[in-house]
């Protein structure tokens, strides 16, 4: 019996030594809150010695207005759940210290609680850092709220994590309506269908082509209005996770100015075309007729240089025909009488006749486009694509396809030429840039693909309900 008591006493002594060596404060109380054990870490944390604290109530260490008094800690512990929380503690000198508190009841063999073991950690430095971070975050959020550009963050799948006020105002949603939604929610066709591929592309080896680069696409407001936007995506790492930050700018005003410039350009183009036809064309016709008459007179009188004058007349005739061809191409295409489909059919037939390249229009059903500006842009895109296929691609066969449904209009130009060089595909070529610009003005996209070793495809898709274009 004495041996058992000795072993128990030795074990208790070892336990006390272990608790004394723990860096965190350890307090053991009875069920009334009277302190039975007080380790060295508590002395350093609160300034009280063990003799000063034994048999005193633990409540003197906490603020009177503490949200969780000792009785509440006991009540929660009695539910067999440890209590974990953060509260202010009071030091001997009256100063406050932030504590991380963990408490658990120790029960005897008859399941009655005998002791409450409380672990205390000084988290003053942590709370100071946390407060600084919270202040920095608050300042950062205030800055983001006042920035005119729309800013958002999303995860790898495109799920929106944060939006500032500018995003809410730009797209017409409340903030809580957007957080948790996918970015596809803010994009019209065809951008919403390609958003998954876009996010995958940002994570691929070739993401440098997208990350940090300006992309001109289109956004979709809450009222289903489509509008042009400029999107810049940046990739950052946050606690091991990849997060994407995006800046969005509304390009509606810029697009309106660009459309005005295009209209002015078209008007000037028509004016020059009419002047070529009515002015220079008529002058060349008159000079040709005079030259032909002079050649006849010289020939009738068997005078020298008759053949030279006749050759001059023929060259003037060729120049006259060239001027008329240029003027016809510069004058606005009349879609009101025949429509885009007929105009494209005539373009293909004329191409075949003048170049010898087989150019064919394929339409599954009749396509009618009431918007004259859209029809003109589509016509010019196809015209440029055909010219590129013949001039640069050295094509022998060209197929033009035109289709339309309730959502969008699509045009495709396939040719069997050698294709475009890499720079042209990247949009460095002037003709390609003009085509892409026309597509963007209509709210659409233009893609250049090499389908296989023998077919180059230019495809343009434009929405039918592009509000700003209308």
Query: What CATH code would you report for 147-250?
Result: 3.30.450.20
Instruction: Please report which helix (H) or strand (E) contains residue 232, including its range.
Output: strand 226-238
Whole-model pTM: value is 0.50
More confident call, 102 vs 280 = 102
Per-residue pLDDT at 333: 63
Domain 337-470: CATH class, spelled out: alpha beta
Q: Given strand 358-362, what is the order of strands in its sheet?
A: 358-362, 397-404, 408-415, 456-463, 445-450
Per-residue pLDDT at 467: 53
Whole-number Å distance between alpha carbons of 258 and 204: 34
Per-residue pLDDT at 360: 94
pLDDT (tens digit per residue) in 92-104: 898 888 888 888 8
More confident call, 364 vs 26 = 26
Percent of the chain residues past pLDDT 70, beyond the cut: 79
pLDDT (tens digit per residue) in 371-381: 888 888 898 89
Whole-number Å distance between alpha carbons of 3 and 15: 18
Q: How many residues does the chain have?
A: 470
CATH architecture for residues 2-123: 2-Layer Sandwich (3.30)
Give the lowest-confidence range in 110-114, 131-135, 265-269, 351-355: 110-114
Is 469 a residue whose pLDDT tops 50? Answer: no
Count, in order, helices (H) and strands (E) of the chain.
15, 15
Per-residue pLDDT at 441: 81
Instruction: Give ∠ CA 109-111-114 in degrees, rounded to 5.
Output: 85
Whole-number Å distance between alpha carbons of 68 and 129: 24
Per-residue pLDDT at 348: 92
């Amino acid at each position: 019996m004495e041996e058992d008591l000795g072993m128990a006493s030795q074990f208790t002594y070892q336990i006390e030594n272990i608790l004394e060596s723990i860096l965190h404060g350890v307090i053991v109380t009875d069920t009334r809150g009277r302190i039975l054990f007080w380790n060295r870490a508590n002395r350093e944390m609160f300034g009280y010695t063990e003799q000063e604290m034994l048999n005193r109530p633990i409540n003197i260490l906490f603020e009177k207005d503490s949200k969780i008094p000792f009785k509440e800690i006991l009540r929660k512990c009695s539910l067999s759940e440890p209590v974990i929380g953060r509260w202010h503690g009071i030091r001997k000198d009256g100063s406050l210290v932030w504590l991380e508190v963990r408490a658990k009841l120790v029960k005897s063999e008859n399941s009655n609680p005998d002791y409450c073991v409380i672990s205390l950690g000084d988290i003053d430095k942590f709370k100071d850092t946390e407060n600084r971070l919270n202040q920095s975050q608050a300042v950062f959020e205030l800055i983001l709220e006042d920035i005119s550009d729309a800013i958002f963050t999303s995860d790898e799948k495109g799920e929106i994590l944060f939006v500032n006020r500018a995003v809410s105002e730009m797209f017409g949603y409340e903030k809580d309506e957007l957080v948790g939604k996918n970015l596809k929610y803010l994009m019209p066709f065809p951008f919403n269908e390609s958003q998954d591929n876009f996010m995958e592309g940002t994570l691929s080896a070739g993401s440098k082509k997208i990350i940090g680069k300006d992309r001109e696409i289109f956004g979709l407001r809450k009222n289903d209005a489509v509008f042009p936007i400029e999107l810049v995506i940046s990739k950052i790492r946050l606690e091991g996770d990849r997060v994407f930050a995006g800046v969005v700018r509304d390009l509606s005003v810029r697009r309106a100015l660009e459309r005005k410039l295009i209209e002015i350009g078209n008007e000037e183009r028509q004016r020059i075309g009419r002047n070529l036809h009515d002015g220079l064309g008529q002058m060349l016709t008159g000079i040709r007729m005079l030259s032909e008459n002079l050649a006849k007179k010289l020939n009738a009188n068997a005078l020298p240089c008759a053949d030279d004058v006749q050759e001059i007349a023929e060259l003037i005739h060729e120049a006259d025909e060239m001027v008329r061809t240029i003027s016809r191409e510069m004058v606005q295409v009349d879609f009101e009488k025949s429509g885009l489909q007929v105009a494209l059919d005539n373009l293909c037939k004329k191409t075949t006749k003048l170049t010898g390249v087989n150019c064919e229009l394929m339409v599954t059903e009749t396509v009618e486009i009431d918007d004259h500006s859209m029809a003109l842009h589509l016509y010019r895109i196809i015209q440029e694509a055909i010219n590129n296929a013949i001039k640069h691609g050295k094509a022998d066969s060209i197929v033009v396809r035109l289709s339309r449904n309730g959502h969008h209009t699509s045009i495709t130009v396939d040719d069997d030429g050698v294709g475009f060089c890499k720079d042209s595909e990247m949009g460095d070529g002037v003709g390609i840039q003009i085509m892409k610009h026309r597509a963007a003005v209509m709210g659409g996209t233009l893609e250049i693909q090499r389908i296989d070793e023998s077919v180059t495809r230019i495809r343009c898709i434009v929405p039918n309900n592009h509000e700003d274009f209308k």
